[in-house]
Amino acid sequence: MELLFNLTKLKFDKNNKNGVSNGLLFYLPKIANAISVDMISYFIGLIMECELPYPNHANLVLDGPTIMWFYPISSTEVRCLIDFPTPGTLPSISNELYNAFILSVDKGEIRTMPINLMPATPYLIPGAVFLGDALNMRHAGTGSEMMVALHDIVLFRNLLRPLQKQLTDTA
């Protein structure tokens, strides 16, 4: 089964058996009417020019429901990701980062990304194999999306290994 997509449509071709990669902004289960996807907040990202309180490490700030990550991306730049909207974001930023944060916000080069909630739900399409987070979404702060997909690929490969001869025999 081949799944062809352009971000808004799915096309099923039962004569082919190909795969599809499901990216952050492509909601395969939502389009396939599997379940609803709820946007629960946004990540706000910006680049700051400063030194981190703990250099060469990610610096995490937990302030109630607000989560902020600060991590180096070059010798002079730090990426800041904030799970927003939640009140009280600025007061929790350390003195070392406060001025750089305000300067970066004033520059206006802020990027946003939706944070979605999509609980895992079984959804069957004959001939289709869903791996990783294809049928659910985790909070981006866990950083587990690719790890889950790669682990599923290893498990799937191991399940197919006994069928290797049948899968490669085209006669």
Question: In 3D, which of 162, 125, 102 has the Cα closest to residue 11?
Answer: 125
- State the DSSP H helix or E strand holding residue 68, giving kind and residue range, or none if neither: strand 66-72
How many Å apart are CA 105 and CA 97, to the nearest integer? 12
> Which residues lie closer than 8 Å to 170 by C-beta, 6 or more apart?
none
Q: For residue 147, count other CB atoms closer than 10 A to its CB.
A: 11
Distance of alpha carbon 162 from alpha carbon 159, whole angstroms: 7
The two three-digit tokens of residue 3, written as one number: 């799944």
The reported pTM is 0.55
**CATH number for the domain whose boundaries are 39-115:** 3.30.70
Q: Choose from 36-45, 58-67, 122-131 the range with maximum mean pLDDT.
A: 58-67
Confidence of residue 14 (pLDDT cuts 50, 70, 90): very low
What are 73-105's pLDDT values in tens digits? 999 999 998 887 655 555 567 788 888 888 888
Which sequence spans correspond to the domains of the chain? 2-37+119-168, 39-115
Across 40-44, 45-49, 133-137, 145-149, the highest mean pLDDT is recorded for 45-49
pLDDT at 132 over 50: yes
